[in-house]
Amino acid sequence: MIRQIQAVTVKEDYLLEALFASGETKAYDMKPVLENFPELKENAALLENAKISKDGRTVSWGELKLDSKTIWSDGVMLEVPKKPTLNHLLAYQLLAARDKARMTQSELAQKTGIYQADISKLERGIGNPSIGTLNRLVEGMDMVLKIEIVQK
């Protein structure tokens, strides 16, 4: 399963906090990695300029790149939300489905006519799609949309 990063902050002592699309937050110790990037270690302000890739799989600072898999597996859990938002649940399911279909966002966009930027927003949990849009996406992945209501 691919873990998608939504946001990052660098705290004191070079501790990277990463918020994942699932709503979980992990802390990753950057000190060992920064030994190879003295310019970043000497100027902590540069670490504030982290760039997250559109697919949420990579965080970078110029030449330094960390993948979400490494941050997830080597990080320490800080926070698990008691109840994930519907947008987080949808984002997680959409990303998992696209991964299972072995498609990029661009490929899915071409097949469905939905802008890649809109697919990216949905996979980051910041979009609000219609049922029609969801159906177009799952049909583009040769899947079926299933909506289920269950009693608490």
Q: How far apart are CA 18 and CA 131, in angstroms?
A: 30
pLDDT band with cut points at 50, 70 and 90 for residue 79: low
> Rounded to the nearest 10 degrees, how much is the dihedral formed by the CA atoms of 131, 134, 136, 140?
-160
pLDDT at 83: 60
How confident is the model over 94-120, as a mean pLDDT?
91
Q: Where are the domains of the chain?
A: 5-79, 86-140
pLDDT at 73 over 60: yes
pLDDT at 84: 66
pLDDT in tens, 19-56: 888 778 889 999 999 989 888 888 877 888 888 898 88
Yes or no: domain 5-79 corresponds to CATH 3.30.2020: yes
Question: 86-140 has which CATH code?
Answer: 1.10.260.40
